[in-house]
Chain A
Amino acid sequence: MLQNTFQELSHSFDNYIHYYNSSPIAYLTLNEQGVIKQANPSATHLLTGSNEVLLDEKLETFIHSSDQDDYHFFIKDLLDNKNDSIVTVKLVNQGIEYRQPECSGFRLIDCSRSLCKHQNPLLYIVLRGVVNRNIKNGVEFYLTIQNVSESLRNQEIITCLNQKLEEKVFQQNAKLVQNNLDLTKKITELTQSKKQLAEREAKLNAIFDASMEGIVTFDQSGLIVSTNMAVATYFGYSQQELINCPFNILIASLQSNKPFQILINQLITKDPTVLINQIYEVNGIRKDSSTLPLEVSIVEYSIDGALYFTGILRDISLRKQQELKEKAQLTKLAHVARLCLIDEMGSGIAHEINQPLTAIANYSQACLRLMYVEKPDFAQLSDILLKIHQQSLSLGQIIHRIKNLVSYQATLRTHTNINTLIQEVISLCMIDFNRNNIYICLDLLEDMPDIMIDNVQIEQVLLHLIRNSIDALKNSKNQRQLLIQSCIRNLNQVEVSVQDNGSGVHESEKNTILNTFFTTKVMGMGVSLSICKSIVESHQGSLDFISKTNEGTTFYFLLPIETLSNVSQ
């Protein structure tokens, strides 16, 4: 029995030894002084990192200095029979690098926590123990050591991850809040702009209706889509009446205005070459079929692929009246300038008239004498009478020309050959050329086409220019020369130039010479030139000059060949 018991005991002791040595849990036996008396391989390995014997060494030497207090309190607790006490301590790094094989799939980037295994290679253990007082020379502590580094670290990782997650969540949250704020703001803005839009629309509508200009929109088939109040006022229709009417009913016989007709046709047939944005002058037609002059410009736009055209119509009857007034004004002014011109030319003209008069008087006196001789020489008499006839005719022409210049007449445009006009003007100035010793040279283009001009006014322009040149030549010491040329420019303009070899226009006068504000009080040179410019411009022409100091000045003007239809309006 005893044998059996002993055998069992020895067997169990063997088992115990076996378990003790092979257990993965570390066991330690300490004496009263904390000196290690017994350690299983696990414990040895845990504490030393190797299988070195650690007997007779104090356990506290393995414990990190910062945890010494905890350890001693733990031993004390054990002595006080508080068997359930446990303590977590760090082991001293004994030069053995404790390395986790690898952080299980995680690598905590930017982790700043102290326990992170990448920062902190220390081992953490948990000590538990009991006290055995039944030993003759004191007490013994039986301790189990658990390596908790791994779990602590895992905990740490989780905490860390949690923290990161939290941060992320926080960030996300902040973003969401921001987005929310933005959205709210946008909604406010939208509401506001909607309000503004409504305001603007109201404003535009008010402008649309209050506009002095008629605004009419029509679609591709030429039917009116909308009009404003002005259109209704212009034409005497109500706004309702006009909707869906063809746009053409507002414009008097499109045939009378070719360019505009073409425009409308092109618009409706979607011709891409159409000239939009140009201003056209047309006659509008009212409901009572009276007409009014209009200026029309058309813009194009499309909504959902459908083309629309908006015409802006302006009543220009006032302006037309003004233009007529200005034209009349110019006519008057030109007349005054002509009178002044005649006045200036007075002595020359008197001479011009006196010459043939003197000749006639002489011839007729001679005839009288020749008639009363015994045998009158009739052949000679008839010769002389013929001369009288010629003289009186030429006198008549001079008087006629001067009468034209002096007479006040409304603008009357006729087909005129400019060369004929030039020659007539020269014959009026011949005396001045002679007196001032000026050599006159003509270079006129043959077969000059007729142009539609007011003869008297253009003759006046020529006279002014020629007299201006004569004035410029008066002080010239060179052989005084005047060259008058006519030619065709740009295929559709007649150019007349008057060129002298005088001293040239003074630099300071160049800018003002053609633009002097004209008054009827002082008819200086500049004034007459500005009248010339106005006259030529009223013929849709242009007048300018080139001048070189000491080489002379050339005044030239261009008149259009094809202004026949426009001018007569």
Chain B
Amino acid sequence: MLANKTAHIVYVVDDDFAVCDSLSVLIQASGYSVKSFLSAKEFLDNYDNKLPGCLILDVRMPPMSGLELQDNLLAKKIEIPIIFISGHSRVLDSSKAFRSGAIEFLEKPFDNDILLIRIEEAIKSDLENRAKNSEHELIKQRMESLTLREKDVLIFIVKGFSNKEIAKMLDISCRTIEIHRSRVMKKMQVQHLSQLAIMIKEQLM
């Protein structure tokens, strides 16, 4: 279970007032903060990227459909997890939604427990994403503190070359490599070579 649910915001976007309102009531009753909108545009105007959360989105809405909103968010690199709800499932719609990274595609009327479970999952995934994103940010900063030579050394280390081999390739003394290596380990704040390898691998992915 998530702690401190109210800190997470569940956005509900559906052009049908009754659906929108009932979802808000339900989700609020489950302890989340809810922001509901009757159109995609309203959502875009009011969305705040800083707080973790998820989006419950109706597929068919005039004038901007849920799928269009999803594309719009992707284009803006806003990575909020989306749970689609739809009055009638169409394979085409759902497969497109999933390809673009939707968490779930629920057909109305749906089992609220599943919805709540999915909301929890979505928020968790958002939190993880955000954490990962912040870790990436950290590693990026550390890497930027390396000198050019240190970066070269780092790349060879991660690729598994020995100090001797690196010294030979870069045409510098083995001693100098050792100094660079200890500096890299220090700046990247890792104790073991394996930790460094994982860190760099994730960063490059």
Contact = CB atoms under 8 A, between A and B. Distances in A.
Contacts of B21: 359, 387
Contacts of B88: 347, 350-351, 354
Contact of A358 (B28, B60, B61, B109): B109
A357 B60 contact: no
A363 B87 contact: no
Interface stretch (A151-159, A203-211, A364-372): A364-372
Contacts of B23: 362
Contacts of B22: 358-363, 366, 387, 391
B110 interface: yes
Interface string B95-122: 0000000000000111010000000000
A361 B30 CA distance: 14
B76 to A, nearest CB: 23
Interface in B55-108: 60-63, 85, 87-88, 108
Nearest to A370: B29
B19 interface: yes
Nearest to A365: B112
A311 to B, nearest CB: 65
B63 A362 contact: no
A238 interface: no
Contact of A366 (B26, B62, B110): B26
Interface string A351-392: 100111111111101110110000000000000100100010
B26 A354 contact: no
A366 B21 CA distance: 11
Contacts of A193: none
A351 B18 CA distance: 13
A355 B29 contact: no
Contacts of B19: 355, 358-359, 362
A173 B85 CA distance: 120
A362 B26 contact: yes
Contacts of A358: 18-19, 22, 85, 108-110
A387 B18 contact: yes
A434 B85 CA distance: 17
A437 B62 contact: yes
A350 B87 contact: yes
A49 B85 CA distance: 154
Contact of A354 (B25, B108, B112): B108
A435 interface: yes
Nearest to B18: A359
B128 interface: no
A225 B88 CA distance: 77
Nearest to A371: B29
A369 B62 contact: no
A365 B15 CA distance: 21
A361 B109 contact: yes
A435 B62 contact: yes
Contacts, number: 74
A361 B87 contact: no
A387 to B, nearest CB: 7
Contact of B16 (A347, A350, A355, A370): A355
Contacts of B62: 434-437
Does more than half of chain A's interface fall in helix, strand or loop, or is it mixed?
Answer: helix
Nearest to A438: B62
Contacts of A365: 26, 29, 112
B29 A369 contact: yes
Given A350-B87, A370-B29, A434 B15 contact: yes
B21 to A, nearest CB: 7
B127 to A, nearest CB: 23
**B15, B19, B21, B26 — which one has the most chain A CB atoms within 10 A of its CB?**
B26
Interface in B1-39: 15-16, 18-19, 21-23, 25-26, 28-30
A342 to B, nearest CB: 15
Contact of A363 (B15, B16, B26, B85): B26
B25 A366 contact: yes
B72 to A, nearest CB: 17
**B16, B19, B29, B110 — which one has the most chain A CB atoms within 10 A of its CB?**
B29
**A357, A366, A391 — which one has the most chain B CB atoms within 10 A of its CB?**
A366
Contacts of A437: 62-63
Nearest to A437: B62
Contacts of B85: 358
B15 A361 contact: no
Contacts of B61: 434
A354 B29 contact: no
A354 B109 contact: yes
A356 B18 contact: yes
Contacts of A359: 16, 18-19, 21-22
Contact of B60 (A362, A387, A435): A435
A365 B19 CA distance: 13
A434 B38 CA distance: 13
A350 to B, nearest CB: 5
Given A387-B18, A435-B60, A355 B108 contact: yes
A391 B16 CA distance: 12
Contacts of A435: 60, 62
A209 to B, nearest CB: 72
Nearest to A369: B29
B25 A362 contact: yes
B42 to A, nearest CB: 16
Contact of B25 (A350, A356, A384, A436): A384
A359 B110 CA distance: 10
B26 A369 contact: yes
Interface string B41-63: 00000000000000000001111
Nearest to A391: B18
Interface in A136-186: none
A357 B109 contact: yes
Contacts of A356: 18
A20 B22 CA distance: 172
Nearest to B60: A435
Contacts of B110: 358, 361
A209 B69 CA distance: 85
15 contacts: A350-B88, A351-B88, A357-B108, A357-B109, A358-B18, A358-B19, A359-B19, A362-B19, A365-B29, A366-B22, A366-B25, A366-B29, A369-B26, A391-B18, A437-B62
Interface of A: 347, 350-351, 354-363, 365-367, 369-370, 384, 387, 391, 434-437
Given A347-B87, A358-B109, A366-B25, 19 more contacts: A351-B88, A355-B108, A357-B109, A359-B19, A359-B22, A361-B22, A361-B110, A362-B22, A362-B23, A363-B25, A365-B29, A365-B112, A366-B22, A366-B29, A367-B29, A384-B25, A387-B21, A387-B22, A437-B63
Q: Which 10 residue pairs are nearest across A and B when measured between Cβ atoms?
A: A362-B22, A351-B87, A359-B18, A366-B26, A365-B112, A359-B22, A369-B29, A358-B108, A358-B109, A366-B29
Interface of B: 15-16, 18-19, 21-23, 25-26, 28-30, 60-63, 85, 87-88, 108-110, 112
